[in-house]
């Protein structure tokens, strides 16, 4: 795992942007594994600006999302379908027919078929404060493919900030499995903020265990972890800070 540590969050995202522009321009038909939540937003904003400045095109890019809530409709203001459309897709030239977001339990087979025929070149991941990746909560099998999950209470309370109340936060989701995530050729993980520091330290320095799903990333040969000082404060190794 390569670790890049920053004092300044803007510089962190600027460097992730450079990586993305490079990867997309080198392979315009790239299959991007996409994430939602707060973490990717500064990257998506930068990608939109770069597109508007003519530095990158998504014309031939395929986007495949990690997960989606179950129990709210696609047009709900917090569905990940809506999130992707509003935070990224509507601002760029991606062909919506080349975007895939899991939908519900009925769509699992179809979504798994997409994963089986579209190898992800570059997977973006945030990390849950409990160490989840996608919505693979602690205890998820490392051998899992796309499946329905019962959301951890920690995840529901963390995500309450996006809804009007905890009651409105869905209890279930559908997620790409850990086995699927590990199939990606390259993985970029971004973690910022104090509330991620425990999960980040266990992911990097802890044992590889299904109780901390992100720890499985230690086994992947091409993971790039971008963290700020707060998220990295419990790491054991000496890491040089970028700006």
Q: Which stretch binds ligand F6R (CB under 6 A): 89-97, 129-137, 208-216, 234-242?
A: 129-137
CB of residue 240 to ligand F6R, shortest distance in Å: 25
Reply yes or no on whether 130 is catalytic.
yes
* Residue 122 exposure: Cα atoms within 13 Å on the Cβ side: 21
Q: Which is nearer to ligand F6R, 57 or 220 (CB)?
A: 220
177 counts as binding ligand F6R under rule CB under 6 A: no
Reply yes or no on whether 10 is catalytic.
no
Biggest alpha carbon–alpha carbon distance for the chain = 47
Are residues 198 and 114 in contact, defined by beta-carbon separation less than 8 angstroms? no
171 counts as binding ligand F6R under rule CB under 6 A: no
Question: Which of these is catalytic: 68, 121, 137, 152?
Answer: 137
Q: Which of 49, 125, 50, 37 is nearest to 84 (CA)?
A: 37
Tokens 């900030």 belong to 161
Measured from each CB, the residue nearest to ligand F6R is 126
138 counts as binding ligand F6R under rule CB under 6 A: no
Residue count, binding to ligand F6R (CB under 6 A): 14
Range 53-82, binding ligand F6R (CB under 6 A): 66-67
CA distance 43 to 33: 14
Pairing of strands 122-125, 31-34: parallel
39 counts as binding ligand F6R under rule CB under 6 A: yes
170 SS3 class: coil
Alpha carbon 77 to its chain centroid, in Å, reads 19
Residues of this chain that interact with ligand F6R (CB under 6 A) are 35-39, 66-67, 126-128, 132-135
Catalytic residues: 67, 130, 132, 137
């Amino acid at each position: 795992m390569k670790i890049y540590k920053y004092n300044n969050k803007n510089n962190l995202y600027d460097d992730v942007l450079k990586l993305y522009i490079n990867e997309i321009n080198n392979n315009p038909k790239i299959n991007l594994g996409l994430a939602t939540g707060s973490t990717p937003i500064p990257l998506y904003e930068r990608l939109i600006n770069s597109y508007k400045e003519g530095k990158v095109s998504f014309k031939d890019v395929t986007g495949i999302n990690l997960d989606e809530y179950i129990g709210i409709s696609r047009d709900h203001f917090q569905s990940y379908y809506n999130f992707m459309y509003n935070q990224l897709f509507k601002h760029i030239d991606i062909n919506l027919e080349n975007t895939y977001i899991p939908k519900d339990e009925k769509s699992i087979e179809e979504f798994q078929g997409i994963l089986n025929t579209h190898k992800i070149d570059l997977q973006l991941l945030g990390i849950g404060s409990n160490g989840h990746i996608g919505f693979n909560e602690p205890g998820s099998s490392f051998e899992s493919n796309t499946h329905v999950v019962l959301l951890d209470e920690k995840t529901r309370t963390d995500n309450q900030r996006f809804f009007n109340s905890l009651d409105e936060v869905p209890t279930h989701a559908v997620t790409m499995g850990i086995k699927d995530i590990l199939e990606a050729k390259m993985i970029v993980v971004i973690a910022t903020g104090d509330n991620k520091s425990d999960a980040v330290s266990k992911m990097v320095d802890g044992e590889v265990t299904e109780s901390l799903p992100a720890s499985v990333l230690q086994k992947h040969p091409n993971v790039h972890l971008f963290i700020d000082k707060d998220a990295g404060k419990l790491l054991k190794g000496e890491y040089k800070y970028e700006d």
